[in-house]
A and B are shown apart, each in its own frame.
Chain A
Amino acid sequence: ETGVTQSPTHLIKTRGQQVTLRCSSQSGHNTVSWYQQALGQGPQFIFQYYREEENGRGNFPPRFSGLQFPNYSSELNVNALELDDSALYLCASRKLAGGLNEQFFGPGTRLTVL
């Protein structure tokens, strides 16, 4: 196991609602990235947090936002949910330091928007 945990495991919401997903990073890791994975597709990079600041963002609208806390855990918030937001949401943590930059993933949160 990677030591990265996510909650909840599954979630069902309706269009227009808001959702918050949570991620606890692996011990010793200070950087968290979030991904959206639609069925049959590769993960799409949403954003990355380091030292509580967003330092990288993919092509997602502003209604996707996040937070990182002093203990390096993180939240992903999605406002005004749309049907196309239904996907597996993955977080990955890594240690930002010279060297490997290898990411380790949590088990994901499966979001269904009705």
Chain B
Amino acid sequence: RKEVEQDPGPFNVPEGATVAFNCTYSNSASQSFFWYRQDCRKEPKLLMSVYSSGNEDGRFTAQLNRASQYISLLIRDSKLSDSATYLCVVPEYNFNKFYFGSGTKLNVKP
């Protein structure tokens, strides 16, 4: 089983839509989690960190379900500029290794 699994998508949504991505992880000892966004042929950029049950930043909400070992990312009122690949990252408990999912591609259409 992979350390981190994501639905590759693509998710094709209209502007203004709400979209949610899930990410499952296998290591129950992991304590904190990250969402990054990556634009085509660019480096990943940190979007949100999740340390407890969840985190909210404007239109973006990340939630953590430790019992089921998944993290979700919710984007409300999608903008064209939200089109990107969203990467879920799960560190080992001691932060000596980081596992990335393969990414979920989002296309926001006018």
Contact = CB atoms under 8 A, between A and B. Distances in A.
Interface of A: 2, 33, 35, 40-45, 48, 55-58, 90, 96, 100-108
Contacts of A57: 97
Contacts, number: 52
Interface residues of B, number: 22
B60 interface: no
Contacts of B103: 41-42
A42 B6 CA distance: 10
Contacts of B102: 40-42
10 contacts: A2-B43, A41-B103, A42-B103, A43-B44, A43-B100, A44-B100, A55-B96, A101-B91, A102-B46, A102-B49
Contacts of A58: 97
Contact of B42 (A40, A43, A107): A107
Given A101-B91, A102-B49, A104-B46, A42 B101 contact: yes
